[in-house]
Structures are given as structure tokens and as C-alpha cells.
Chain A
Amino acid sequence: MSGTLDVQIFTVSFILYGVGFVLYLLRAALQRATAGVIATGLVAVGAALQTIALGVRWNLSGHPPLTSMFEYASVMSWMAAISLVILVARTRRFEVGMYVSPLILGMMAIASIVPKEIYQQLVPALQSYWLHIHVSMAALAEGAFALSCGLAIAYLIKARRADAEPEELARLDALNHRVISIGYPLFTLGALFAGAIWAYSAWGSFWSWDPKEVGSWIIWLFYTGYLHARYRRGWRGRKAAVLAIIGFAMVILSFLGNMFLGGQHAYG
């Protein structure tokens, strides 16, 4: 293992999440409840290690690890892992891990392929307390959207089975909606409002149609549409699940968009 200490710990977390995913699969294949418990434990340990990794990185750089694509992807996966552990601990739905852990692994994989250099000196625009508010809330919201995507996949797979219990599906659907109901206000207030207020101080306008801003705007429009469809049109179950998956795909596209479209949010 190479790299700074935080990257080494990050790699260990990555491996633990991977093993956790395999155990979730085994749980489903062999119907062994213990495998689910161990898998969740491994994800919890992975998340704890990732917490340490982020802390080490914060200490090394002197600023919160929210300023590069590696750091953002890492924080996003960390948030999703913590959410998964809390969700499984509270609801005992181990099967959700099988669908959410691959998404966490995907985010970790993205983080692992982008540059991981530590910059102690932040560019002037990032030297603001809004960095903490804006980026952490956005990462938390996107972590929730990742979780909702996993729940939606779980729903769709369960709904295909002939022996699917309607009550169980309804609970999964309600849980997914609750997760989005946490992510959406966080995204609205953190990613959009806090970002716009910061941009007003740093760049001279609330909104400048930067690629990342447009990406966030589209994500927000989409989830707004989702909520309207759910509340006013009664879109639940399968339709809502499909929308949740598309929503998270948009989150990933917006995240990766920086690589191709650049813009004012392309910090590294």
C-alpha cells in the first residue's frame, strides 16, 4: 500500500466494504443470517476507519477534507456507509446492504482513481466557512440519495418475486421515501442555498450557470418532480423506485461532469 496514511486507511476501508458486500451476497445465497450481521459489522468498521482516514487527512491538510474530487467522493461514500449501518441497525433489514454496499464500493472506486494529493494551501475562494456548510451538507444529501437508490433497487428486485409481500414492499417504499425526504431538504439548503450565498460573496453572483451548478439544479428539479409525483399523483412503489434510481444516476453524472466540463467547481 502506498500513499499518505489517510489513503492507506482509505484502502483498508475499501477492502472491508468489498468483503461486506460479498458477505451480503452470501447471506442472500445461503440464507445465513449471521453473514448479514458480520457484513454490517464490517461496513461499520470500514466506516469507522474511513472516519479516521478523513480525520488524518484533515490533520495533514489543515482544512476539512472537502476540497477535491477524491475527498468529496470519499465523504459521500462515508455518509452512505454510515446511513446504511444506521438503517440496518434500526430496521434489521440486512438485505438492503446487498444493494447499497455496491453503490458505496462504486463511490470508493471513483475516489480511488482520482488524484489524492493533499494541498495544505486552499485556493482563496475556498477559504470560507461556507465550505464546511455547503460541501458537507451536499455530501450528506448525496449519501442519502445513494441509500435511496439502493433501497429502490431492493424494491424492484423484491417486487419481481411472485411471493413478494405487499406490506413488506410498502415498508420498503416508505423507507425509501423517508430517506429522500432527508436528502432533499439537505440538498436544497446545503448544495443550492448555501452554495448560492457563498458564490454571491466569492464570485459576485448567486448563480452563474457553472456546470456543477447546472448539475445540482437538474438534480434538484428531478427530486422536486419526484416529490410532486409522489404527493400529488400518488406515484409510489415501482414508479417511485425507478425515479430514485434515475435521481442517483444524475448525482453521479453531475459529480463526474467536472472531469469533462470543468467550470468554477473544478478544484482537483
Chain B
Amino acid sequence: MTAAAEREQRPTRTGGRPARQVWGQLYELLSSTGFAIAILLILAVASILGILVIDQLPVRGELARVQFAARQDEPLIWLLSNVVPLRPFRCFFFQSLLGLLSLSLLACTIKRWRGSWRAAITLPAASDALLRSRETRLWRTRDENAPTRVAALLRRRLFRLRETQITTAAPQEVRYAGLRFGLARLGPVLTHLGFLLLVVGAIAMSLSGRAEMLWLRPGERVTVPEAGLTLELNAFDIEVGARGRIADYVSTVTLYREIGADTTAAGQLAGEQLEIEVNHPLRERGFSFYQNSYRRDPRRLRYLELAFDRAGFPLPGGADAGDDGEGDSDPQAADATGAPRGMPGSRGPHAERHDGFRDPMTITIPWGERVALPGTRYAVAVDTFLADFRVTADGPALASQEFANPAAQLAIFHGDSLAGRSWYFLFHPGMAVGTAPELPVRIADLGPEFVSGIEIATHPGAPWVWAGFAVMTLGTMLAFLLRTERIWVRLRRAASGWDVAVLHQGAAPQAPEFARAAWERSATPLTIQIARALEPAEGAPVSPAKRRNA
């Protein structure tokens, strides 16, 4: 043989071992119980580690990553960030484990399918060899109708029966092979298949699913171009129940659907008004809209409650309505100074005068409305609101989403003309910063406007998951609720009556405390029932071994 011919023959082997054999071994490994248990164990340990990582830091979002990075000096954080991935359940390692589990489930399903199916439907004949089993019980009955009686009893117990009659040879024989709940044998394999579908669906969702949180104010809209959908929030309502606990929160939205390529502006379509509520998401064109959360709007109020001292306001004639001797300067004149009054550190008399109102009154100013202060010539409107007021180089700014330092800029009107604008602070009632005249007013309370937190999500693996639930539920119910039972009965004609042999498999022996006779302690309840129907004529039922010894 030439060297070239030898080389041509070599590719039939891989590393000295046939490729088929390698695949066969891989298949055996994946379908083995040991491998499955090992994967389950590793998954459990990885899940515990994952939850510990999540507990140590909020792993979702970029902000969390920044916060995490800032805690690098903490030993546990350093260890976690350098050893464990930040999103443990979405990392390659964990997904690979799920992938291996899928392969194991697939191999197990394939390996066991044929055997389970065969066991579920086949009815082996009641052979003599089979009936020599240790669990077989033998006795003689004088009941002439034994075959009919046994068949009726077993059919009543939902056994599928196959009857064989031997009438040509003596002695005459009737044999029954019975199977009950054979489908239960498919339970484990269906459970594996269902779990495989679940894992595949979970991996698909993990890899290609999308979830995005949106904070919408009434009137705002969001477009989902991929689905041709536009969602506009009309209203967001919060229901408060007993003890001030939140009972429900609901977003009323208008959903605009683009139809075909003709429609370009969703707003031109007639929208459908719908509600999105906790536990009742809106699903449309593969997208789901969840009422996930809500929060107080840091830039807007529903209303503001303003307390003011009528006695402290300038009288229409120009004199102070109060008797404290401090006259209010003309608002316009105050503005003319050019410098905002009541800046921190320079607000002494202004703040003091607001602390004790002599003729207090509170009015509610809805957002966007101008409200007259009764008994005065002034009116007020809320211009701007900041939940966490901070002064920056560019002016007032929102420092955070929290209500840490709520402040409202009020526009003060004198008659019909704007007298000025000043910032007032909920937690610093004496302070006013701005160009408005010094007036005895302060913020008494705030009615926050709420922003609806709507999550838009896609679940590309959902059909797999639903199929997995269905198949696995069916498999679990078959496997645990039903029990496959087989029974073989041989009735052989005797001089008077019949010699009975019964072998029942798939059921536990009678519980000893309920056994009436000694022999019943080792027989199944069904065998006992048959023996009661076909009353033993010569002694109690015995096993083949005992019969031989006798």
C-alpha cells in the first residue's frame, strides 16, 4: 500500500477512535443520571452565588455599575467584581450551564422516549414463566363464573384487558393481561421534555428579550417603531385604600396602531383608549406594556397649598394691614432694587415675619392656574417646581429625584400685572428667593403629581415557555398522580372450579395494620380484592414457592 493510500484511509478514525463512538459516548454522558445530578448541583451552587452577588449590589443599570465601581475598596465587593460577573444570571457561564442542562434533558428525552412509550401501551401476555414470580398468589376457587367475575372486576378498576382462552387443550384455560394508567409511564419523559422547552424559552428570552422602563407624565407619548405602536398616557390615577396604603394604580392610555406603510404619523390614527393596571398588562403586536411602578414627579405638582397671613399684606391704600409696624414696601419698588431678596444668609426680618401668622389662611393652587389670595390684591401661580432644589452655576437645578428640598417658584401678581417671581421652600418656610415682593406666604403642603412607570417588554421565548408549562404539567400529573399497574391472571380449569394465579405489579402491598389475614400483609389490595371475589376453597392464597414446598 502506498503512503497516499494509507493517508486516505486514516480520516475514518479520529484520534484513534471512531467519531461515531465519540458521539455515542457523549450521548451516553449527557443522558446519564450522574451528569444530570451534577448539572443540577452546579446550577444550585451557581444560583446561590448569583443571589449573593445581587444582594451585594443592585446589578441592574449603569448607575449601579458606577456605584459598584465606587465601592472597590470593600474586600467583598472587590472579590465579587473581580471573580463573579455583574449580571450573574445572564453571564456566559450561567447560560452555558443552562445550555448543558438543555442538552442533558434532550438526550434523556430521546433515550427514554421509546422505552416509555412501549411500556405505556404494551400488554405482555400472562405467560407461565411470568406467573412463577415470587409476588404471584395461587389459590383454588369453586366459583364457576370466575373468568367473568375477574374480567368485570378488573374492567371496573379501569384495566385495559387482553383475554386469551385456551379451549382446545386440556385443561381449559383463560388468561388475562391487564394494564391500568399506562400513560403514566410517559410522565417522566414528558416532564423532561417540558423542562427542556422551558429552558429553551428562558434562554431565548434571556438572550433576545427586551425590557425598558419608561416614566410618563400625562400627555406624554412613546413610540415603539418596530411594532408601529404609539402609546400616549392620558391619565395616571392612584387609589388609596385603608390606612393610606396604595390600593391600585392605573394608567389610562391611548394606543395608536400604524397600519401598513401608508401611516407615518401615529397621531393621525384614531387611537383606542385602554387601561394598564398591575396584573393586567396591555399586550399588542408582541410587545407587553406593564404598569410596573410609579413615582412622584420631581418637576411638577398637582397642586400646592399656600399659607398666607392676610393681616400681613399691604392694604389696598398702601398701608400695612398688620399692626407689627413693619410696612410692606411696594412690590414694584422692591423689584427695582434689582437684587433678589431673601437670599440665604440675608433674610432675617423676612423670615421672622412669616413664622407667626396673625390671620392665617390656606389656599390650594392647582398647577398651571392663577389663584387670587382672598382679602388681598394679589394672586399667585406656580411657575416651576423642583423636588430637590440646588443652586448651580447655571441657576436653580434639580439635584436628585428625591423630595429632599422641595421648592416652588411662585409668580406673584398684583392686580393684573406680574409683581415678580420667587422661590419658596417647603422645609425652609421663612425663605424666599427671587424678585417677588416680600409677602407673608409660605408653602404649607404639596400635592405631588405622579409619573407612571410603564415597562415595555418583549418575550420572544414566551411560546416555548407556555408549551413547557403545559407539557411539564401534564408530565408531572401523569408521573405523580397516576401509577401504572399491570396484572396477569391465569384461570385453569380444576375438577371443581378454577385454579387461580394472580400477579399484580405497580402497587404496594397492603398496609399491615389493615390486613385481615396473615397472607394479606404481603399481597396488593387488588389481589386481596380478587381473592375476596373468588373465594379460596382450599386454604389461603400462597406464593408459587410455598405451593411447591407444600
Rounded to whole angstroms, the CA-CA distance of A92 and B47 in the bound complex is 41
Asked if A207 meets B279 with Cβ closer than 8 Å, knowing A217-B47, A222-B44, the reply is no
Contacting residues, chain B, for A120 (C-beta < 8 A): 241-243
Asked if A91 meets B513 with Cβ closer than 8 Å, knowing A121-B243, A189-B476, A206-B465, the reply is yes
Q: Is A115 an interface residue (CB 8 A)?
A: no
Q: Which residue of the partner chain B has the closest CB to A233?
A: B33
Contact between B290 and A261, CB atoms less than 8 A apart: no
Contact between A121 and B241, CB atoms less than 8 A apart: yes
Q: Is A265 an interface residue (CB 8 A)?
A: no
Contact between A261 and B51, CB atoms less than 8 A apart: yes
A-B interface contact total, Cβ < 8 Å: 119
- Which of A128, A206, A218 neighbours the largest number of chain B CB atoms within 10 Å of its CB? A206
Rounded to whole angstroms, the CA-CA distance of A81 and B247 in the bound complex is 34
Rounded to whole angstroms, the CA-CA distance of A5 and B278 in the bound complex is 32
* A window 205-226: CB within 8 A of B: 205-207, 209, 211, 214-215, 217-218, 221-222, 224-225
- Which of B205, B249, B290, B481 neighbours the largest number of chain A CB atoms within 10 Å of its CB? B290
Rounded to whole angstroms, the CA-CA distance of A194 and B472 in the bound complex is 13
Asked if A188 meets B513 with Cβ closer than 8 Å, knowing A127-B279, A174-B508, A202-B278, the reply is no
Interchain CB contact (< 8 A) of A123 among B246, B288, B459: B246
Contacting residues, chain A, for B51 (C-beta < 8 A): 209, 211, 214-215, 261
Q: Which residue of the partner chain B has the closest CB to A232?
A: B33
Interchain CB contact (< 8 A) of A121 among B242, B290, B455: B242
Interchain CB contact (< 8 A) of B457 among A204, A221, A224: A204
Contact between A119 and B245, CB atoms less than 8 A apart: yes
Contacting residues, chain B, for A8 (C-beta < 8 A): none
Q: Is B343 an interface residue (CB 8 A)?
A: no
Contacting residues, chain B, for A200 (C-beta < 8 A): 459, 462
Contacting residues, chain B, for A215 (C-beta < 8 A): 51
Interface size bucket, A side? Answer: 35 or more
Contact between A229 and B37, CB atoms less than 8 A apart: yes
Q: Is B387 an interface residue (CB 8 A)?
A: no
Contact between A204 and B281, CB atoms less than 8 A apart: yes
Interchain CB contact (< 8 A) of B37 among A188, A189, A228: A228
Q: Is B540 an interface residue (CB 8 A)?
A: no
Contact between B457 and A205, CB atoms less than 8 A apart: yes
Q: Is A181 an interface residue (CB 8 A)?
A: yes
Contacting residues, chain B, for A206 (C-beta < 8 A): 202, 205, 459, 462, 465
Interchain CB contact (< 8 A) of B455 among A201, A204, A260: A204
Interchain CB contact (< 8 A) of A185 among B54, B209, B288, B480: B480
Contact between A124 and B246, CB atoms less than 8 A apart: yes
Contact between A221 and B44, CB atoms less than 8 A apart: yes
Q: Is A125 an interface residue (CB 8 A)?
A: yes
Contact between A124 and B476, CB atoms less than 8 A apart: no
Contact between B55 and A127, CB atoms less than 8 A apart: no
* B window 497-528: CB within 8 A of A: 508, 511, 513
Contact between A204 and B279, CB atoms less than 8 A apart: no
Contact between A225 and B89, CB atoms less than 8 A apart: no
Contact between A125 and B40, CB atoms less than 8 A apart: no
Contact between B47 and A128, CB atoms less than 8 A apart: no
Rounded to whole angstroms, the CA-CA distance of A229 and B38 in the bound complex is 11
Contact between A214 and B469, CB atoms less than 8 A apart: no
Rounded to whole angstroms, the CA-CA distance of A225 and B479 in the bound complex is 16
Contacting residues, chain A, for B459 (C-beta < 8 A): 200, 205-206
Could you mark each residue 251-263 of chain A with 1 if its beta carbon is under 8 Å from any beta carbon of chain B, else 0? 0000000001100
Contacting residues, chain A, for B43 (C-beta < 8 A): 221
Contact between A218 and B279, CB atoms less than 8 A apart: no
* A window 62-94: CB within 8 A of B: 91-92
Contact between B480 and A125, CB atoms less than 8 A apart: no
* A window 83-120: CB within 8 A of B: 91-92, 119-120
Q: Is B79 an interface residue (CB 8 A)?
A: no
Rounded to whole angstroms, the CA-CA distance of A174 and B480 in the bound complex is 14
Contact between B481 and A185, CB atoms less than 8 A apart: yes
Q: Which residue of the partner chain A has the closest CB to B213?
A: A204
Q: Is B48 an interface residue (CB 8 A)?
A: yes
Contacting residues, chain A, for B277 (C-beta < 8 A): 124
Contacting residues, chain A, for B405 (C-beta < 8 A): none
A135 → chain B closest CB, angstroms: 15
8 A-B interface contacts by CB (under 8 A): A123-B246, A124-B246, A197-B469, A198-B279, A204-B290, A205-B209, A221-B40, A261-B55
Q: Which residues of B contact A (CB under 8 A)?
A: 33-34, 36-37, 40-41, 43-44, 47-48, 50-51, 54-55, 89, 188, 202, 205, 209, 211, 241-243, 245-249, 277-281, 288, 290, 292, 455, 457, 459, 462, 465, 469, 472-473, 476-477, 479-481, 508, 511, 513
Nearest 5 Cβ contacts at the A-B interface: A121-B241, A232-B33, A124-B278, A121-B245, A204-B290
Given contact pairs A92-B513, A218-B48, enumerate 11 new A-B contacts (beta carbons under 8 Å).
A125-B278, A185-B479, A203-B292, A204-B281, A205-B211, A205-B459, A206-B205, A206-B465, A222-B40, A222-B44, A228-B36
Q: Which residues of A contact B (CB under 8 A)?
A: 91-92, 119-121, 123-125, 127-128, 174, 181-182, 184-185, 188-189, 193, 196-198, 200-207, 209, 211, 214-215, 217-218, 221-222, 224-225, 228-229, 231-233, 260-261
